[in-house]
Amino acid sequence: MDKEREIIPLKKKIKRYLKRILGLLLFCGILLLTRIFLFQVYSIQGNSMYPTLENGSIAFVWKAGFAISAKFFGTPWAYREPKIEKLDLVLFANQEGDLIVKRVIGLPGEFYSIEAGRVVIDSQMLLENYLPQGSFTSEPDNSIFLNLKNSPFLAMNSQGRIPPGYYLLLGDNREYSTDSRSMGLVPVEKIKGKVIFYF
């Protein structure tokens, strides 16, 4: 009779531990799916987005609808058309695969030009109050871009029309930013998310 009493509590303990383990696994699975498909916290490295973002700033990135690149998918995969608007801050993968944040300056189909240190989109000078005072936007330099073979990025000229599926991305700290002027127009599949909050 005593043995039966000992076995019953042991079974209850095993069931209780199994429930806890399953609950923990479920929680970890939800966190992982959220991290892959919906949301990411990103730490800013460098000052190419100064004064908007500084080295060490924290950005919260919304990833739903943007391209996902993970080893088990093989290639970047977008599960719906991302909503990207002018002046959004976006997280994207450069040619080396590093994740960086830049500002959307030109959208697909728009005609851009850089004139006298200012950006002009569809014949209208872009009002850029977020730039540091006295900022000068230099013309593109494709010397870095030309060294990369089979790049999905498109070389940028001092003026041109942005093809479908590509974006013109620039850093706010124009004189110290590596952006579309050197790496080219960015394909939508390289854009991983939109910054929705930062501090």
Gap between the Cα atoms of 56 and 45, Å rounded = 6
Residue in 57, 63, 102, 180 annotated catalytic: 102
Beta bridge partners of 170: 103
> What is the enclosing helix (H) or strand (E) of 42?
strand 39-43
48 belongs to the catalytic site = yes
The answer to whether 102 is a known catalytic residue is yes
- Would you say 89 and 195 are in contact if contact means Cβ atoms under 8 Å apart? yes
Catalytic hit among 48, 57, 177, 180: 48
Is 77 strand, coil or helix? Answer: strand
| DSSP code string of 110-175 | -EEEEETTEEEETTEE---TTSPTT---PPP-THHHHT-TT-SSB---SEEEPPTTEEEEE-SSGG
Could you tell me which of 171, 167, 169, 178 has the C-alpha nearest to residue 54? 171
Active site residues: 48, 102
